[in-house]
Structure 1
């Protein structure tokens, strides 16, 4: 591409983005402050995540208005090749001078971008964004081993959702019945609509469009899927059966795919696009983890509610999904190398086991403990003792209590409180 062509695109994209940020109500993301620390010196920050989760806006906010910003998901750049990067720099220099920070938005659209980023990161701050978890695999990992920071951006947390809705919470607000009622009402809306930034403007039709784009563009087209209708059915089945176990062989029989390897590939494509996450069963034996069924969780409660084929989804499963997403979000935003599993044996199940170095935290999610208090607590204590964990967490709709049972400190708290605080305050010391 010619330098003058690139100038026109850069000017147009900057004007469009400036118009957007001046027109819209922008919310400071939970992760902005910690992410900004990684850009206090030349470095590469890779922001990955599901499409429409706000990657472009947070990149702009982190980089500043003087950065070179280019979004490659633009039809005018369809002919852009890796050899055009130097001309892109020339265009930016002629327009605004030497950029200290470069933002390459949806950079996976350009084949061979990795070498340019590797060269730039020596003297510049570089932000790359992408909608595929495989963006940093393969060749990219070779060029930037140990020289980049990776962040997975999720749709809005409940904290960010409250900011967007203009819910102001002062000191000791939780002791105000009026404020608490306002927060609980907002929680119901959050579980129903989810956290995609623009869903409040466009409603559930917007969620349908996001889902279609994810399945059709980010999965079927990107991977040139052969059995397209089977993949569509597979995606819809997994979305409808969120917070539940599945096996690849069972999925294959449901959608009519005989080859279990094809089913496994299709599920991995949905994961790469961040439409779903799959959760392995906890085991100290790697083989046990690989052979056990997995659980599935969509990327957003609004997607789950809107696209589910079930007429009346269980409240407990929706709460479980919200807790799972907050666990994943908290681990990503704190840049802590933690893992999350579920627990099941012949005596019972615990929804989540969070592993942080050598520390383990069991977490149980239930709408209410009223009807099964003794059984739920007894099973949680049993698993905690087996894992040698002195702490455990129970998330309910509104119950709150602290107790110690057989040497295990159990904190019971309502969902709104867990979503407001995040995972970090409850993690055991490592």
Structure 2
């Protein structure tokens, strides 16, 4: 194990190494920072390459700037070749003990473990050290599967962890890293590009397209095919293409079966339902269930799927040609999720409300439309919101450059201002 400690020195802060931290994502580091100084395990989940590793390193750097000694921080990334032989919780424990012997940290140790799901029974290590009062430590872990906290870990750590879902760049972050102003024109650029952090280090669209394709393939092969022993990889890929093509539309598994049947592809409900769940678990897509606003419960059947990053449509499947309005709806969904809301598709009487967003005892109703310049559009978008007779806030989000006056208590939000607005609530 001492050889591994030597090999990962370059990835740690011990020798004042110039560790690359990437673009500062204070939205997440500040949020996670509120939970520092206790025994809660900080769990970061999200799609591969969405920026979890950068955020972990930024937190570690912040701790050092606040007085924590560099030798008191251990950073492990299971994707590094140097750690290819690290496979079990027992080996992880041996590595940790070797680290303590070699670095001799005094006081609390901060342990960061990236892509921890590749270590068998890792939950044993986390549970043990998060509660160790003799040699106190604070743990930060990340993973690329939404089931990271399912099963045994949830039982072992019940009430002793806090989870943060990491998304690709928001529009303010997109502008910040690109040196752009927050305005409608740049928001359109945001809608028609992508927000995975590494895209901003690539100089042209061809390289970006190749990168997005490689990310999609890696997620599918490593996080889905290998993990779930997928038999029909082509069907999985075709299903993802279908969900990209129908993003922001109400669909059901039956719809998908009928689509493949029209293409002479035989499949069944169980297989497609499982494959769709796997795509969700790997964070490539998100599913929004329908929500009965009057009855205040979810409705089984049709749902909407949204992409975790618009790059999949814009760089891989742009030829499908659905309009900017669908991209806008997808972006608004991601903004709501990023702000910590559970998001549903609302139904009331015979109309649809694009989003019902719920966080604790807070609830928002939102309609999303590209423009409110025509009377028929205004009537359609405001009608469903006016049918809701509770006192929760109602909004219409659009790309209009001017502010629309409040209409029967329904406020207008410009799409490019939505992120800051949600964070101010």
C-alpha distance in 2 between matches for 1:413 and 1:163 = 21
* 1:376 alignment partner in structure 2: 380
CA shift digits 1:92-127 (9 cap, x unpaired): 123322361001110000011101111111221100
* 1:303 alignment partner in structure 2: 312
Check the 8 A contact 1:51/1:131 in 2, yes or no: yes
- Say which is worse superposed, 318-327 or 304-313, in terms of deviation: 304-313
- Please point out which of 284, 304, 328 is paired with 1:319: 328
C-alpha distance in 2 between matches for 1:166 and 1:21 = 23
CA shift digits 1:367-386 (9 cap, x unpaired): 1112224423542333322x
1:43 aligns with 2:40: yes
- Say which is worse superposed, 300-309 or 12-21, in terms of deviation: 12-21
1:208 aligns with 2:213: yes
1:357 Cα deviation after fit: 3.7
CA shift digits 1:46-98 (9 cap, x unpaired): 00000111111111121335210111113333332221122211221233223
1:272 Cα deviation after fit: 0.5
* 2:289 alignment partner in structure 1: 280
Relative to structure 1, the CA distance from residue 347 to residue 18 in structure 2 (aligned partners, 3 Å threshold; closer, same or farther) is: farther
C-alpha distance in 2 between matches for 1:359 and 1:165 = 33
Check the 8 A contact 2:365/2:385 in 1, yes or no: no
Gaps of at least 5 residues in structure 2 are 65-69, 203-207
C-alpha distance in 2 between matches for 1:201 and 1:283 = 44
Check the 8 A contact 1:46/1:149 in 2, yes or no: yes
1:290 Cα deviation after fit: 4.5
Relative to structure 1, the CA distance from residue 18 to residue 261 in structure 2 (aligned partners, 3 Å threshold; closer, same or farther) is: farther
* 1:268 alignment partner in structure 2: 277
Check the 8 A contact 2:194/2:310 in 1, yes or no: yes
* 1:115 alignment partner in structure 2: 124
Gaps of at least 5 residues in structure 1 are 168-178, 332-337
CA shift digits 1:170-205 (9 cap, x unpaired): xxxxxxxxx56xx33332222222211110222232
- Please point out which of 132, 140, 158 is paired with 2:145: 132
Relative to structure 1, the CA distance from residue 16 to residue 348 in structure 2 (aligned partners, 3 Å threshold; closer, same or farther) is: farther
Secondary structure at the aligned position of 2:96 is classed as helix
1:75 aligns with 2:74: no
* 1:334 alignment partner in structure 2: none
1:58 aligns with 2:55: yes
TM-score (norm 1): 0.86
CA shift digits 1:235-272 (9 cap, x unpaired): 11101211111111221233335321211111110000
- Please point out which of 342, 354, 363 is paired with 2:366: 363
- Please point out which of 169, 192, 195 is paired with 1:156: 169
C-alpha distance in 1 between matches for 2:250 and 2:16 = 45
C-alpha distance in 2 between matches for 1:17 and 1:315 = 49
1:223 aligns with 2:232: no
C-alpha distance in 2 between matches for 1:403 and 1:285 = 24
* 1:9 alignment partner in structure 2: 7
Check the 8 A contact 1:25/1:164 in 2, yes or no: no
1:151 Cα deviation after fit: 0.3
Check the 8 A contact 1:326/1:422 in 2, yes or no: no
C-alpha distance in 2 between matches for 1:189 and 1:8 = 45
Relative to structure 1, the CA distance from residue 185 to residue 205 in structure 2 (aligned partners, 3 Å threshold; closer, same or farther) is: farther
C-alpha distance in 2 between matches for 1:243 and 1:20 = 43
- Please point out which of 15, 29, 32 is paired with 1:32: 29
C-alpha distance in 1 between matches for 2:273 and 2:170 = 30
How many residue pairs were aligned? 398
Check the 8 A contact 2:193/2:310 in 1, yes or no: yes
Secondary structure at the aligned position of 1:304 is classed as helix
Secondary structure at the aligned position of 1:73 is classed as coil
Check the 8 A contact 2:369/2:381 in 1, yes or no: no
Check the 8 A contact 1:242/1:297 in 2, yes or no: yes
Relative to structure 1, the CA distance from residue 390 to residue 218 in structure 2 (aligned partners, 3 Å threshold; closer, same or farther) is: closer
